[in-house]
Structures are given as C-alpha cells and as structure tokens.
Structure 1
C-alpha cells in the first residue's frame, strides 16, 4: 500500500520549499542568467551600459592562445589529480576494510581530511613544498635548484596535483569503503577457503565489483578538479609561474576581477559550465545505467 503525504492547504508545501527555492534562484539561476547576458554583450568595467556583440566574446576566447593553454593545464591537472586520488583512496579502502586491530580508528582518521577547507590545504602544501623552508628544500641541498615551484612550471603543477589529490582522497575513500562493505562476505570467504590469498581476492573479486563506484568517482573527481580548484591555485601558485598553473576556473577569475574583462570571463564560464553539463550527462547516461551487476 502506497502512502502519500497530504497537506491541509495546497499553499503549505510551497511555503516549505520556498527557502530552498530562493537559495537556488539567488545563488545559481540568477548568476547563471547574468553570465549568459554578459557573454553575448560587451559589459563596461565601471558601468555605463552594455552593447550586444553576439558570439564575438566566444570567438575571442577560442582564438586566444592563453585560453587553450589554460584548457591544456586544466586537463593535465584534472586527469593527474583524479588518477592519484582514486588510486590512493582505493588502496587505503582495501587495507582498512580488513578486520584488524585499530581498523575502525583508521577509518575515522582517513575521513577527517575532507573537512579541511581548500585555502587551508593550499597554505599547508605551500609551506611543505617551499623551496627554501619546506621539506622538499632538502633536494636543493643535494643539488642546487633541483626543486623550485616558484620558477619551474612542472614543479608547480606537480605540487598542485598532489594537493588536489590529497583533498579528494578522503571523499573517494568513503565511497570505496562503502562499496567494499556492500560486497557479500560469502564471496571473499569462499575464495579464502579455496586458497586465494588477500591480494588474489582483491584483484579478482573486490576490485572488479567496485567498477560502478570507480566510474562514478572518476566523473565526480574530474568535475571537482575543473570547478573546485580555485582555492588551491589562488593560495599556492596564483596561476604561475608563467601561466603554468593557470587553470580554467582561475583564468575566469583573473580575467574578470583583475583584468576587468567581464564579458570574456562570462563567456569562459559558459564554456566551463557546458563542460560540466557534458560530464554530468556522461555520468547519468553511461555510468549509472550501464555499470551494474546482478
């Protein structure tokens, strides 16, 4: 028998959802609508009206070498961060899932890092990887200028990828651990009785059954790397050196708030939003519907 909630007046349910609707409208739909308007107009930096220019802002964005360089480094960052974060989280979840002494305490400890804000993570990693006072400064005592993220773009990108991956490991760990605990224990116990060791059970039973979780986290990590990396970039590298870490989300901020190119920044934000919509479509269309086991 299906039970449905009933209200005495038809106005009550709308009043209950009104605060959430207002938050969504003010902080999502309104800014998105303004970005669409600015992307097709020439917005004056200090006000004074706007001029309709159609697709001109998009043409300028796609013809900019700096923008395509930003796209390239964003892809490198997203792929590197996702692979490293997913691999580390899967390894930790596989080891913590075993019922050994202290495993429950390790589970709680590995979840905590996700509660740390990105600017705080950026400050910590910036100090750790500092070429003069950080832990990695030992490399410069062995070989001069062996490590300097403030001058070497490759070093700066590596530092940023490690910080971004560390930020996402805890989030991925929760999903992998939940996926491991949903696997029937009868499967692993039967494999153990047949003589399969822990590594063999991980490789042939647990990891294949985690395929839906893996592909879900891959899309989520890629999306997060493209959109939520601003705090790390702003604190750690500010897009440098020489635009080596000028990710798409940071370039939007730099062009809009520093360069006062509101229209160009709005066009870039529309392109980034389209990329996120595409990744979300892939997730719902291919990952969640086709990756399942009976």
Structure 2
C-alpha cells in the first residue's frame, strides 16, 4: 500500500519548498524571461527604452552566414568531443572492469579529471600544446610550423576539443563502469569459452547490453559540448584565430558583451536553449522508451 505524508498545517510544505523555489525563480526563470524580452525587442540608440521588434532579431541571425558557420562549427565540436571522450572512457572502463590487483586504484584515478575546473584545465593544456615548449616545441624544431594554434584555426580547434574531451572522461567513465559491473559475468565468460576475443566480446555482448547508458551519455555529452565550452575557449583561444574556435555559446558572449548587441545575443541564447530542450526531449521521450531490455 502506498503511503503519503500529510501536513496538518497547509502552509508548512510551501515554507519548506520556498528556498528552492526562490533559487529556481531567481537564477532560472527570471533570466529566461529577460532573455525572451530582449530577443523580441530592440534597444533604442543611446538608451531610451526598448521597442518591439518581433522576429526581426531571429531573422537577422538566421540570415547571417557567420552565424551558420558557428552553428556548423559547434555541431562538429560537440560530435568530436562526445566521440573522443566516450570512446576513451569506455575503453578505460573495459580495462578496469576486472578482478585484478590494482584495479581499485585505477578506478579512482580515472575519475580525477572530472574534478578539475575547466579554466584550470584550459591553462594547463594551453601550455602543453604551446608551439614553443615541451614535446610540441621539439616537434616544431624538427618541422618548423607544423603546429601553431595561434595562427592555425584547425590546430586551435583541435586543441580545445582534446581538452574538453579529456575533462569529460571521468564523468563518462563512472557511468560506463557502473553499467559494465551490472552485467552478468557469465555472459562474458560464455563468450570467452566460445573463443571470442575481448574486443569481439565487447562489440557483440557488452556494448549492446549497455546501449541505454551509451545513448544517455551521448545526449548528456552533446548538451555539455554545446553549453559548457565557454570557459575553455575563453582561456585557451578567445575564439581565435579569426573566429576558428568561436562556437555558439562563445559567439553569444562576444556579440552581447563585446559588441553590445544585447537583442541579437538574446535571440542566439533562445536558439541555443531550444537546441538543448530538443536534445533533452529526445533523451526522455525517445531513448528512455525505445532502448530497453527485459
């Protein structure tokens, strides 16, 4: 029989919920309402209030070729970061999902990158990939100009992708390891007895069984790549060189806070929010219902 809690004082539940509701209202719904207001209005030159602009701000950004280039760059960035991070995390989880000496230590070590702040990791990777220092510096001495993220946009974008993927390995590793440990060991043992190598057992037995976890992490990584890349890019490249690392969330900042185009930046934020909502809808409405095992 289901049990429910009843309060004699009808005001007490609302008092208990009030702090959380206040935080949600102040830090989520209020900024969202302000973004909607700015997205559909246009500020008068030198102040003087806002005038109704309708969908003109959206039509302007959708007609801007630079914006669509940023969208394409953001999609490539998100797919690359998600693929690299998830593949490495799955590989590491496969290695430590064994009853061997020392696996406990590795299980904890592989989670550490997730605890590092993105700006701190960006500073470290910026030094690691500096063309004049370390291993990269030695390579540049042998082949001058082969690596220079300060002038080559592809190099700069690759540097940021590697850093972001490295930060997400710990998060993905935890979920993959938990999913693998939930699988019956008898399935892998039966495959090994039939002569299947570890790689074949992973593809044919383990990976299909942890498909719900894979799809969940895919959606979460895509959302993180679209929304959590600002700190890395601002520290490592500031969107350069020549906007080569300018993704959607960073272009929003540049147009709004540097270009003072608050209405255009607000319209871009609404588009980004709708993209995240769409990904979340896919997660809860499609993946959760269609990927399951009895």
TM-score of the pair, normalised by structure 1: 0.96
Tell me whether 194-203 or 245-254 shows the greater mean CA deviation. 194-203
Q: 1:45 to 1:262 in 2, by over 3 A?
A: farther
Q: Structure 1 CA distance, aligned partners of 2:79 and 2:21? A: 34
Query: Where does residue 103 of structure 1 map in the other structure?
Result: 103
Query: Where does residue 33 of structure 1 map in the other structure?
Result: 33
Matched positions, count: 294
For 1:76-225, what aligned pairs fall within 5 Å after superposition? 76-225=76-225
For residues 77-118 of structure 1, the C-alpha deviation after alignment (integer angstroms, 9 at most, x for no partner) is 101101101100110001111111110110011111111111
1:53 aligns with 2:53: yes
Residue 66 of structure 1 deviates from its aligned partner by 1.4
Q: Structure 1 CA distance, aligned partners of 2:4 and 2:185? A: 37
Mind listing any 5+ residue stretches in structure 1 that lack a counterpart? none
1:6 aligns with 2:16: no
Residue 69 of structure 1 deviates from its aligned partner by 1.4
Query: Where does residue 255 of structure 1 map in the other structure?
Result: 255
Mind listing any 5+ residue stretches in structure 2 that lack a counterpart? none
* 1:140–1:146 CA contact under 8 A, matched in 2: yes
Query: Where does residue 267 of structure 2 map in the other structure?
Result: 267
3-state DSSP of counterpart to 1:48: coil
Residue 286 of structure 1 deviates from its aligned partner by 1.2
Q: Structure 1 CA distance, aligned partners of 2:46 and 2:149? A: 36
For residues 113-137 of structure 1, the C-alpha deviation after alignment (integer angstroms, 9 at most, x for no partner) is 1111110111011110111124322
Residue 285 of structure 1 deviates from its aligned partner by 1.5
3-state DSSP of counterpart to 1:51: strand
Q: 1:238 to 1:44 in 2, by over 3 A?
A: farther
3-state DSSP of counterpart to 1:9: coil
